[in-house]
Structure 1
Amino acid sequence: MQVTKTQPLWQNRSYLTLISGQGISALGSFMSDFTFSLLVLALTGSPLQTGVMLVLRTLPYILFCLPAGALADRKDRKLIMIISDAGCALTLGSIPLAYFLGHLTLIHLYLVAFIQGSLFVFFQMAEGAALRNVVAREQLASASSWNEVIYSTCLMLGPLLGGMLYSFSPMFPFILDALSFVASVISLVCIRVPFQEQQATSVNTLWQEMKEGQIWLWKHPILRFLALLTTGLLAPCAGFTLIIIMLAQGMHADSTTTGFILSSGGLGSIIGALLVTPLLKWLGFSRLIILGALYWAVSWLFYCIAPDPLILSILNISGYAIVPIVTVPLYSYRLTVVPDNILGRVNSAYRLLMSGSRPIGIGATSLLLQWVGPILTIVLLAIPQLLVAFLAIFYQPLREARLDNKQ
């Protein structure tokens, strides 16, 4: 049964079930993401080896993003999400099991990072294409904004809870994250609305379908530029958590204080998510993206001036506020202009640029932190962000784009 256009968003049981399950899962993931870095850093004492773990967690985007997008258009998206979350529950659960048995090794953590990252790619490709079939088309921007509010709340609470739990036992966050994936699986099973439109039988190979998504994206000038813009903004920030940990350690902050600093970004993200809709109405799509990109790049430099954990937290609120203000309209634009039967493949081609560059960003961040320290690392990583932000000002098709214009 398809959702009618007149159904209020907060009376849509399928949407509420979906965001509830994903919210619980996101909270667990933010707890373990933060403590994953703390655990590897504690075992090795090396930012570089911690960066290797982060690279392994994001490398699957390069390897599996395109086939995952094609699979999301070919197969049952809900089933893909269920299998992916179940796999994440099992792999994360293996960490505390190995720890309590006395067999936890760095290689084990690296394997879990890679496997979980791979499963997350398949989940995200299916989820990104599913939302349009859970809510009405005119509710996409609003639903995306509320998704971001919930996601940001988890971003705020996850590191804080993770740091507190880690101080009691390094394994508590991983146990809770494994259970959160179980909750996500249960919520997905309870949703009855199909996650995709009726599909025609495809006679193309998986490789041919992957190419179709790339070609469609490349031929759409605005989406093509937005993919490059997003990549230029996000890739230099890929090692952000490691930078914050290094800055906090330089201020002699403990794990709880470091978790508080990271969780402050969630508050900023909530503020930004709540501002998306009024800012879109006030500025319009193109001006919001251009001004948002400029602020994103400039605010990155603010981290250099933080003298203590409190100021660093305040600057983190400011820096994170701009993220949903830029990313939510970009996501809504993709959902609006791309046909459903190719949405998974176009999303995967888009995300291959955006997230496939994360291993490069994390690797560069790890090396820079090892060689020149966090302050100069921040300055050097600001250069590509400033470059793409200024390019956005002069790209004429973007200046003429509208969120409701199917170009």
Structure 2
Amino acid sequence: MPETVETPLLRDRAFVLFLLARTVAVVGSAITTVALPLLVFQVTSSPLVTSLVTAMQVAPYLLFGLIAGAMADRLPRRRLMLGCQAVSAAALLSVPVASWIGQLTAPHAVVVAAVVATSFVWFDASSFGALPALVGRSRVVPANSMIWTVTTLAGLGGPVVGGALVATVGAAPALSFDAASYVVAGALLALIGRSFDAPDARTRSPETLRTGIREGLQFVRRQPVVRSLTLLGFGNSVTGGAVSALLVVFAVRDLGLSEQGSGIGVLVAVVAAGAFLAAVALRRLTDRVPIGWITIATLSTNPVALLLTAYAPSLPLAITPLLLWSFTSTLTILNGITARQLVTPLELQARVNTTARMLAWGGTPLGALAAGLLAEFTSARHAYAVMSSAVLISAILAWRSPLRARSFGVPAPALQSP
């Protein structure tokens, strides 16, 4: 059973191990964020092919999100998460091995991105349900805030380390460090003595996979907070997919940074810094500002920040608007995740959160491929400008939606209660 609400999170051994596992994995993944797209761009020099890495990192959510969510509410979550860590480590390790024997190709790298992303779907589904089970619903907001703050802080250094590794050992060998991070993170999760499952997971009557999927879909459709934030998140994900897919291309071709990786690592670190600030701000904002108002503000600011980034003439002038873009994009996502975890029953956590994320993130591969195609014929700058229209549409719809009402969703003060 979760610890009582009075127990400080940092004195809760199960939570600390969970937090450490996430932190280690984030550092490794931040290295791959720099190394893998850069590797593909070095091999192909094609913005479109490079954008496939981002598309493949999200596309599995569209294919397997519903199934993974239902399975994560039925199967032992710890075993599922450990299996996913092992698969990801093996897939990433295949890249430096293939490079060492002279058999590495761009399709191989893209397939590895797809395999790691597919494993992440099941891991993410299990993680969504595991956190409330580990800490209790009353501590979901502070637990989420602490996890996002620490992991995004770790993510600040990860891209810089990734850039340095690429510059010293090469893009392919750098991925072995991410493979090792999955092994370490898995070991930390295995040390947690508390159950990752809902208290009544073993006593609930069995249900078919189809029934579990249907229950998740019905909850998302009928719950007004989850439905509204999920649909509006689609535009945010289209624009986010475009930015992520072309970040390396934008850095090299438009900002004039070196392909060797160090400068690109700094640019990725700026994105991580925006995410860190969003995680820090989340707790204070949700204490004082209604859920809907937060989303309206972030969606409205996001396209302006991206336009300023797109036409910045140099790296120093691109840093501030890119930081703002990352902050608003991440805060939109975190606000939606927290709201979902607060209003969703424990036994539905995995399937509801994966269903909502699948729908909200559905725009990421579309944005990535559309931006890559635009950049093939114009530039990353123009592609960014065009793709900012997706989140602008979400902002316009948000202003005309029930999110404007102070009473929308869970009132801000109530976010502290179970």
Cα shift at 1:65: 0.6
Match of 1:220 among 200, 220, 223: 223
Does structure 2 retain, via aligned residues, the 8 Å contact 1:3–1:133?
Answer: no
Cα shift at 1:398: 5.9
- Aligned partner of 1:224: which letter? R
Cα shift at 1:53: 3.0
Q: Which runs of 5+ in 1 are unaligned?
A: none
What residue in structure 1 maps to residue 29 of structure 2?
29
Q: Deviations over 1:86-117 (max 9, x none)?
A: 11111111111111122222232222122111
1:6 counterpart = 2:6: yes
Q: Deviations over 1:40-74 (max 9, x none)?
A: 11111111111223322322111111100001100
Give matches, 1:19-98, under 5 Å.
19-98=19-98
Cα shift at 1:147: 1.4
Cα shift at 1:201: 4.2
What residue in structure 1 maps to residue 138 of structure 2?
138
Q: Which runs of 5+ in 2 are unaligned?
A: none
Cα distance in 2, alignment partners of residues 245 and 125 from structure 1:
29
What residue in structure 1 maps to residue 354 of structure 2?
348
Q: Deviations over 1:146-196 (max 9, x none)?
A: 211123223322221111110112234211100000011101100011112
Match of 1:305 among 294, 303, 311: 311
Cα shift at 1:269: 2.1
What residue in structure 2 maps to residue 390 of structure 1?
396
Cα shift at 1:392: 1.4
Cα shift at 1:322: 2.2
Match of 1:242 among 225, 239, 245: 245
CA RMSD of aligned residues (A): 1.8
Greater Cα shift, 295-304 or 162-171: 295-304
Greater Cα shift, 114-123 or 45-54: 45-54
Q: How many residues align?
A: 406
Cα distance in 1, alignment partners of residues 217 and 132 from structure 2:
21
Please state whether the residue corresponding to 1:204 is helix, strand or coil. coil
Cα shift at 1:397: 5.6
Greater Cα shift, 254-263 or 176-185: 254-263
- Aligned partner of 2:99: which letter? Y
Cα distance in 2, alignment partners of residues 297 and 133 from structure 1:
37
Cα distance in 2, alignment partners of residues 274 and 203 from structure 1:
40
Please state whether the residue corresponding to 1:122 is helix, strand or coil. helix
Cα shift at 1:10: 1.5
> Runs (4+) of structure 1 moved beyond 6 Å?
none
Match of 1:251 among 251, 255, 269: 255
Are residues 11 and 65 of structure 1, via their aligned partners in 2, closer, same or farther at CA, if it must alter by over 3 Å? same
- Aligned partner of 2:310: which letter? C
Please state whether the residue corresponding to 2:195 is helix, strand or coil. coil
What residue in structure 2 maps to residue 316 of structure 1?
322
Using structure 2 for the length normalisation, give the TM-score. 0.92
Cα distance in 1, alignment partners of residues 275 and 102 from structure 2:
39
